[in-house]
Amino acid sequence: MARRPRLLPAVGTARNLLGASLEGILTGSVADGSAGLPLVLVACSGGTDSLALAAVAAHLVHTGRARVGAVVVDHGLQPDSHAIAERAAGAARTLGLDPVHVYRVEVRREGMGPEAAARSARYAALDDAAVTLGASAVLLGHTLDDQAEQVLLGLARGSGTRSLAGMPARRGLYVRPFLELRRADTEAICGFYGLEPWHDPTNLDPAFARSRVRAEVLPFLEDRLGPGIAQALARSARILGQDADHLSELSHRAYTGMRIEGDDGEVLLPEDGLRALPAALRQRVLALAALELGAFQPSAERLRAAESLLERKGSAGPVQLGGGVSVNRQVRGRSVLRGEPGYGNLVLGNNGAGVKKSRRPTQE
């Protein structure tokens, strides 16, 4: 009788990480039938990380803890993207995942860079698949190395706490169980299962900042500062993530408490209330108002310009926050709020053509 191959330590670790990340979703016991089991979807590109995740997630099927399917998004950005997507789907089916769907999307730039545009199209497809199939979670294969790269990119852009916190382990339906695994671990897992991943050529294309960080910057830092840089960056992301979550909660609470609805759909923020807030919360409250009205995340420079209106005397502004959203200090003699006209509020409105007001922001 042939001996079963010894379990690779990385596989055992990955299974434990996956189980912990899906706590509260998995049944925790072997079921007689699969009809009532939760459905978990793997976002599978066919690359090393996502194939390793698909292989580890398949263990949930074998142990009767969940149904596991896969979604492959074909961005159409490679000449042979259709064949690459079908190959990834075939690998997922061979691992025992079901259902497996290929979504073909059109990547529209619309003022975004190529990476951001592809990401937007990808998440739209994953959102649709999760709703259509009734998934309880969508698994993403980002690793500790991806997290370290994200932090370095945030530092290079001069980003704030939320961006430097990197990618969350969980947000809504999206779960990243491998944020404590190295890329070398996912390569070993693919080798253990005999999988042949697709290697995206853009990962080494120096035209992309992330590729330069991966191929040049991180290896340089490891060489000059010693090993453990990636782990240290990921650790910083976890710490900053906790800080960002706390600041986000406080700012949402402050915004909800001071937000006033104007007559013409504007959002009014009392100046006294804004001045009483610490700068870290004040800028976040201004950003929440802008986001509610349909803006993209305003830059730090735009938020500081809006904040400077509090230092002006008389009517002032407008300051443009993007997406047709502007902010000004309330004009004397014009009542945008039911009641007496006068100063005392920053007024945010959206005059952008064709831009619809968004829903009230919710806690991230």
Residue 212 pLDDT > 70: yes
**Residue 42: strand pairing partners:** 70, 139
Average pLDDT over residues 266-280: 93
* Overall average pLDDT of the 277-288 stretch: 95
197 and 280 fall within a common domain: no
Same domain, 16 and 100: yes
If asked whether residues 287 and 330 sit together in one domain, one would say yes
Question: Does residue 29 have a pLDDT over 50?
Answer: no
CA dihedral 347, 351, 355, 360 (to 10 degrees): 10
Q: Looking at 40-44, 219-223, 263-267, 350-354, which range is the least confident one? A: 350-354
End-to-end CA distance of the chain: 54
d(C-alpha 26, C-alpha 68), whole Å: 11
Orientation angle between helical segments 300-307 and 279-292, nearest 10 degrees: 100
The answer to whether residue 179 is domain-embedded is: yes
Number of domains composing the chain? 2
Looking at the chain, the whole-number percentage of residues with pLDDT higher than 70 is 87
Indicate whether 315 and 211 sit together in one domain: no
358 carries a ligand binding annotation: no
Q: Out of 177, 201, 225, pick the residue that ends a domain.
A: 225
> Do 57 and 174 sit in the same domain of this protein?
yes
pLDDT at residue 34, rounded to an integer = 62
pLDDT bracket for residue 343 (50, 70, 90) = low
Would you call 242 helix, strand, or coil by DSSP? helix
Residue 1 has pLDDT above 50, yes or no: no
Residue 207 domain-assigned?
yes
User: Is residue 241, in this structure, part of any structural domain at all?
Assistant: no
Same domain? 36 vs 94: yes
Query: Is residue 233 situated within a structural domain?
Result: no
Q: Is residue 164 part of a domain?
A: yes
In a domain, 216, yes or no: yes
Q: Which region among 44-48, 195-199, 259-263 has the lowest average model confidence (pLDDT)? A: 259-263
What's the CATH number where 319 sits? Answer: 3.30.465
pLDDT tens string 64-87: 999 999 999 998 888 889 999 999
Which candidate, 99, 100, 111, places its Cα nearest to that of 74? Answer: 100
| Residue 31 pLDDT exceeds 60 | no
Domain span at 35: 9-225
pLDDT at 79 (0 to 100): 83
135-178: per-residue pLDDT in tens? 999 999 999 999 999 999 999 988 889 889 999 999 999 999 99
Higher pLDDT pick, 315 / 175: 175
Predicted confidence at residue 118, as pLDDT, reads: 87
Model confidence band, residue 337 (pLDDT cutoffs 50, 70, 90)? low
Confirm or deny that 45 is annotated as ligand binding: yes
Higher local confidence (pLDDT), 338 or 147: 147
Number of alpha helices (DSSP H) and beta strands (DSSP E) in the chain: 13, 11
Tell whether the model's pLDDT for residue 341 goes beyond 80: no
User: Within this chain, do residues 90 and 145 fall inside the same structural domain, yes or no?
Assistant: yes
- pLDDT confidence tier of residue 33, bands split at 50, 70 and 90: low
Which one is predicted more confidently, 215 or 332? 215
Contacts of 126 (CB under 8 A, 6+ apart): 41, 43, 71, 73, 138, 174
Q: Tell me the C-alpha distance between 24 and 13, whole Å.
A: 19
Torsion of CA 143, 149, 151, 152, to 10 degrees: 160
Kindly state whether residues 206 and 332 are assigned to the same domain: no
pTM listed for this prediction: 0.83
46 is annotated as contributing to ligand binding: yes
Instruction: Indicate whether 278 and 192 sit together in one domain.
Output: no
Q: Would 235 be classed as within a structural domain?
A: no
Q: Tell whether 88 and 183 lie within a shared domain.
A: yes
CATH at residue 107: 3.40.50.620
Task: Select from 206, 225, 244 the last residue of a domain.
Answer: 225
**Final residue of a structural domain among 225, 249, 275:** 225
**In a domain? residue 245:** no
Q: Which residues 6+ apart lie within 8 Å of 213 measured at CB?
A: 149, 152, 153
Does 48 count as an annotated binding residue?
yes
Residue (of 65, 67, 59) closest to 30 by Cα position: 65
Residue 331 sits in the same domain as residue 203: no
Do 283 and 144 sit in the same domain of this protein? no
Q: Who contacts 248 (Cβ-Cβ below 8 Å, separation ≥6)?
A: 162, 284, 363, 364
